Chains A and B, each alone.
With several copies, the nearest count.
Chain A
Amino acid sequence: MPINKISDSFADAVADIPSGASIMIGGFGGAGGQPTRLMMALRDLGVGDLTIIGNVAGISKTTGYGWPDHLDPIDQGMFFESGQATKITCSFPVPGTTNPLSEIERAWREGRAEVDIVPQGTLIERIRSAGAGVPAFYTPTGVGTPVAEGKEHRDFDGRTYLLETALSADYALIRAQKADTRGNLQYTGTSRAFNPAMATAAKVTIVEVDEIVEVGGIDPERVETLSTYVNRIVQREAGDPLP
């Protein structure tokens, strides 16, 4: 009998996350694909000194980015508002000038948080590389910009590239629509985003899903994250009003 990967509650699923952990948070930014219930459980757990790895991060609360109009947006800024996070690596933490400051920008201005801003394609490729056993790769993105500072430059066929290294984490909190009891995952629409790659790049991958089905309940052509990558699955309550 394979290991039981199903956690009874969001609180149980994150209970062993210690202070000082690095945490990938899936999705793109916005409600779809964000593991919102797992994030709330981690906030409630109260551990501190966290390093967050996200993408578009913390701008929904002040801009409404990616959230339906009738809901109050929830975003990664919660860990900076609570003081739990001291660092974030992401691609888009700052909203436009016409918006109020985000929690992340406020924490950065007040010296409470380090913010490491990475080009989105480099960020996802670094995460993918960690899962794929590639310690480093070259990319053309960022050459001639502040992103290139201190990095190795190298020419291939007359063009200059930067060396970028794999980015892993202790935990990945991700969101899928369907899991089978073995841990195979299926996503819907644009909710894939950073979720599949993050699932491969963390020591422990925890998944929030709408539905857990028996083995065989996912079309073999639609397994978008292999069960091998998944450690824990939590099913949302039926009718959860959050996206």
Chain B
Amino acid sequence: MSISGSTSGTNSGNPAGNDPAPRLDRAAVAKRAARDLVDGSTVNLGIGIPALCADFLPDGVELLYHAENGILGFKELSAPGEGDPNLMDAGGKFPKLVPGMAFFDSVESFNLIRGGHIDVTVLGALQVSRTGDLANWIIPKRGIGSIGGAMDLAANAKRVVIAMEHTARGDMPKIVEECTFPLTAPGCVDEIITDIAVIKIDRASGRMILRETAPGWSFDDVQALTEATLVVDGEIVVMS
């Protein structure tokens, strides 16, 4: 859990009106991120766009959702007003009791994370650097922030995927050469999925490879909203 869900939600789109085509909505970003989740994986989804991934799993894919507060194997939320305070997820919501769930304490929950047993975590971000540094827990001018499980997840999950809007308020780039915000973890991000692009980070070579663009967006269009230098390595396909 990190605060990035709520903070990246403050992006107000494209006030200047010079986008070549519409950006994807949050659901579409989540849907694209969900497509890469592998059946049977143990997965931790951050709040915001990442949490929406659960609504868009491909047919036949079943994931084992983990939340930091000590639950594995939850699915949908209870109806409003029907939740049990003793059956909570890490976002403070109340899932339903379903077969196969497991409850445990916070020691065990972070053994699972720190021990590298989480296959994938999908998180939000304030900034991601070209080499995969992630900043998603504090806005410097606020002076105080919340870490929660974000540092443990970012540093230790087998795969770290960022699902977010491509830019912050006023089209300020969030994908940067070097993060100026305090880090959550250095060199941890494997892939970024945004409302205009899918970018793979090749940490070994320090390259950001543009893999996909939203319909109507070119390499140059995406690069214009990205401070970090993007490269092409193989075909660029249209996001779907």
Contact = CB atoms under 8 A, between A and B. Distances in A.
A147 interface: yes
Interface stretch (B26-34, B141-149, B190-198, B219-227): B141-149
A105 interface: yes
A180 B80 CA distance: 31
Interface string B194-238: 000000000000000000000000000000000000000000000
Interface stretch (B13-21, B67-75, B159-167): B67-75
Interface residues of A, number: 85
Interface residues of B, number: 74
B149 A121 contact: yes
Given A94-B3, A134-B114, A69 B80 contact: yes
B156 A140 contact: yes
B151 A142 contact: yes
B62 interface: yes
B103 interface: yes
A220 B83 contact: no
B5 A30 contact: no
Contact of B107 (A125, A145, A226): A125
Contacts, number: 250
B115 A131 contact: yes
Contacts of A133: 111, 113-116, 156
B186 A144 contact: yes
Contacts of A128: 107, 111
Interface in B115-149: 115-117, 133, 139, 142-149
Contacts of B64: 2, 182, 227-228
Contacts of B80: 69
B107 A215 contact: no
A141 B146 contact: no
A230 B67 CA distance: 19
Interface of B: 1, 3, 5-7, 9-10, 39-40, 42, 60, 62, 64, 66-73, 80-81, 83-90, 92, 94, 97, 99-117, 133, 139, 142-152, 155-156, 182-187
